[in-house]
Structure 1
């Protein structure tokens, strides 16, 4: 009975470490499409019945709309019954030929949907409202390289957009991977690479723990071993006495 409490405490501490590290996951992607270089990041924080997605374009002074972020496909360990876009916030701008900017309006052309076993957050393609897409996420300026595919499609979200997805039927969502999309089609797709607080489960179905997960496991097992050794020493001391 003396052994049970310390062992339970060690296992509980390991669980707390794992839960804290898994709350916010960061993904990035970089590549080249038909219009040039593409790069984006997504920081996804889980909440009760919700996800908060901070989606960014990392290309400065882009040339064409094909380099702008227009869609994020999110893979979850379990799908919710429904998804809705609770809010979309960010700085919007209008870009004129030559690169001059003026303030834009509200973000109105993003939506969310469940399709093909994943969640889509989009202004173009699956999950997006109808009509010609705008509110694409463009990197920071200057915008002197912007061609008519950009200047003719205002407003744009400058740099980063923050989106809250609300779920029913899924109190504790677990993100396992993402794909980024670019352009108004969307035109190009890049798989996200996890760079922080990576999930144990990946979207291809593997189960290989990330290095941080291995470290937490080893820390927990090390603590467990120390408790067991202490208990054995106390038992031997008691028997000798």
Structure 2
């Protein structure tokens, strides 16, 4: 297996830079297309009248999305959460070519830095920690620029976020025959429910001219108002206010 020798924060910055550059390049190309008359044609309002799947302007009324990527902790969150892998499932309704709303389920699996694991009781017992963060949110989508095959959009919204912190340690178990195995054992945890908001930019492009399927790339900033709970390192991590940048690549229908 190949391993990168670059520090993790360099990799995170490079990923953010590449996604941002891609969105900016697509924005510039769409702006040029609109200025030169190559944007999506305006359809007659009667073209799709009576079609249950389309709006009068020809846009599809319903939308689905599936994507995956990484979530990069921001600000103080970097002290108690490592980079996460995650995914999103979403579905929504488009009012017209420019405006829609999505209902989205997101899940991210963050690690816990070793510097925090050392503060756990009996820290030498090989502790590991995970922060599972899932959310159910509503996110309006505004198409800033759109051609017949590509678009750049602004999105964001808010909703419910649940954060679960879990710690495991290694325990040795032996049978009467003398065989022993090491297996993970739950060593503590906590959880927190809170409201949160997000805001970001995305870009999408059809995989073929006549296809409804589009590849998309999206970057947001998410802020969650975690607070409260009882004292202790498990609760401290769960109840810290959370900020991170989810970067996703996937498909939209």
**TM-score normalized by structure 1?**
0.33
Q: Which has the higher contact order (CA 8 A, sep 6+)?
A: 1
- Greater strand share, structure number: 2
- Greater helix share, structure number: 1
**TM-score normalized by structure 2?**
0.32
